[in-house]
Structure 1
Amino acid sequence: MLLTVVTVTTFAVLIRIVANPLSNVFQKQLTHRAADPLFVISATYGFLALVCLAFWSQLRFAGLPVAFWSCMLVVGLFAMIGNVFLVKALHLGDLSVLGPINAYKSVVGLIVGIFLLNEIPRWWGLVGVLLIVVGSYVVLATKQPQTGFSWRLFQRPEVRLRLAALVFSAIDGAFLKKAIVLSTPTIAFFYWCLFGFGFTIIWIGFTRRERWREQATLLVSQKSTYFALFLTVGVTQVASNIALAGMQVGYALALFQTSALVSVLFGYQFFNEKGILRKLIGAGIMVAGAVMITVLG
């Protein structure tokens, strides 16, 4: 039984490592075709919520504890904000840069653990933080000579948006784990879609009402790319839920960061982004740091 759980969890992590960067590719393609990030996220949530209805027998409303609903409200809100920030960042920046930046999620998890859980990292964890900082510098550095680390690198709009996205994502991951423990990965996935769709519709109602016809027309004209996005996001989130159900949040977040290497390769393959060798080296350093934080820290 233990072997089966480990195998399913490992398989879910591997699927997630590939599916998440691929979903970023489709998100970036859509924003380059005038798709609004908020509409992209809303359409994704809405489609996946409809698909969940096919599994109605595995869903339930009654009998779930109050803690589950409070967790899902936080997850829905934070996941929506994080995803919108992510798509905006992908529109502005290179996938081969923004993918590796996500390794900072492990740093966020470490900081949250110190203040909320009193989890003091050992020196290996601090070395992991240093590796992530060094790796991010390698990824973000240009060919221009530099005298040392420059915080101006983090003034780039796309980098700041990506950092904001991962902070929201790291926090919602902790609440999502608790919601999964209180229910099942399938039920948590359904309400992740439903609450996320509800929050995006409210946001659109207040700020984007005049654009819904234009965006609906674009959805129809780009239906193939949208469908590919729906599929990869759905696979990514299902795999994430299964992984979170089978391991600690910290371990899962660290393993997810190996997708940084895939993001760099996809950035080169789909968008002809430059400096790939340097970015691969930097992404590898960041991944090593993320693993050290959670496995050895």
Structure 2
Amino acid sequence: MLLTILTISSLAVLVRIVANPLSNVFQKQLTQRAANPLFVTSVTYGILMLVCLVFWTQLQFTGLSSGFWLSMLIASLFAMFGNVFLVKAMHIGDLSVLGPINAYKAIVGMLISVFLLNEVPGWWGLVGVLLIVVGSYVVLNDKKRQSNELPTQTNKTGLFQRPEVKLRLAALVFSAIDGAFLKKAIILSTPSTAFFYWCTLGFAFTFIWILLTMRTTWRVQTALLLSQKSTYLALCITVGVTQMASNIALANMPVGYALALFQTSALVSVLFGYHFFSEQGILRKLIGAGIMVAGAVLITVLG
């Protein structure tokens, strides 16, 4: 039985490591074609919700506890903001940079545990933080880009001042909080039930947001959806696979171990950025991503 759980969890983690960066590729392609990040996120939620209703005959609609609904509402709300910020970051930034930045989620998790659970990190955890900072410097230290900027611009575009990095950091903070509450919802139900309501509530939240902010542009975005339907379909498939794999991993593994293993996708993001968008500095970014992955593993496993 234990071997079966380990095999299922390992397969889920492996699938997520590949599917998540691939979903980022499709998000970036759509935003490059003038798709609105909020609209992209809402369509993704909506299509996945409809797929669940049509093909998932064993969904649970009754008998769910108040604890499940509270956890699911909070998780879905934070997931919505996290996904919208992520797509916005992909629009203006390099995939090979923003993928490795996700390793900072390990630091966020460590800080949350310090204040909420009084879990003070050990020396290995502090070494992991240092490795993530060093790795991010290696990934982001584009001397060629800096040489093309004015001195005043260089100061403004430091590590945490670059808009795409700010958006990606905001996305991972929301995602880290979302993950904690999603884990509780999964424990109180099943991975498939939590997945369905993650899609449904996410669609409801984004649809309300669209009604409030996109009254004059939703028709243009709908036309773009029809013209780019194959890319939207590919995005929905990869996001669906990513989230379902995450739910399965969280159901069978401690959050810390799953989080550490998820960071391996940073290396895949660098390779995808080079392959799909001809992003430069591939060797430097691979080295930096590797350092950040090592730091995340130290924080979540040994810290």
Sort the TM-score into its range (normalised by shorter chain): over 0.9
Which residue pairs with 1:82 in the alignment? Answer: 82
Within-5 A mapping of 1:179-258: 179-258=185-264
Q: CA deviation at 1:54?
A: 2.8
How far apart, CA to CA, are the structure 1 residues paired with 2:143 and 2:165? 18
Q: Does 1:169 align with 2:190?
A: no
Separation in structure 1 between the aligned mates of residue 246 and residue 189 of structure 2, nearest angstrom = 15
- State the match for 1:13 in structure 2: 13
Match of 2:278 among 267, 272, 291: 272
Q: Deviations over 1:31-60 (max 9, x none)?
A: 000000000000000000001113443212
Normalising by structure 2, what TM-score? 0.95
CA RMSD of aligned residues (A): 1.3
Quote the residue 2:36 is aligned against: 36
Amino acid in structure 1 at the alignment position of 2:129? V
- 2:166 is the counterpart of 1:160: yes
Quick one: distance in 1 between partners of 2:55 and 2:228? 27
The gaps in structure 2 that reach 5 residues or longer are 148-154
Q: Secondary structure at 2:130's aligned position in 1?
A: helix
Corresponding residue for residue 69 of structure 2? 69
C-alpha separation in 1, matches of 2:159 and 2:2 = 45
- The answer for the alignment partner of 2:105 in structure 1 is 105
One-letter amino acid of the structure 2 residue matched with residue 170 of structure 1? A
Structure 1 residues 61-70 or 165-174, which shifts more?
61-70
Q: State the AA in 1 paired with 2:233.
A: F
Count residues in correspondence: 294
TM-score normalised to structure 1 length: 0.97
- 1:132-172 CA deviation, whole Å, 9 max, x = no partner? 000000000022699xxx88221000000000000000000
Quick one: which amino acid aligns to residue 23 of structure 1?
S
- Report what 2:135 is aligned to: 135
| Alignment partners' CA distance in 1, 2:115 and 2:25 | 35
For structure 1, list consecutive stretches of 5 or more residues without a partner in the other structure. none
Identity percentage of aligned residues: 76
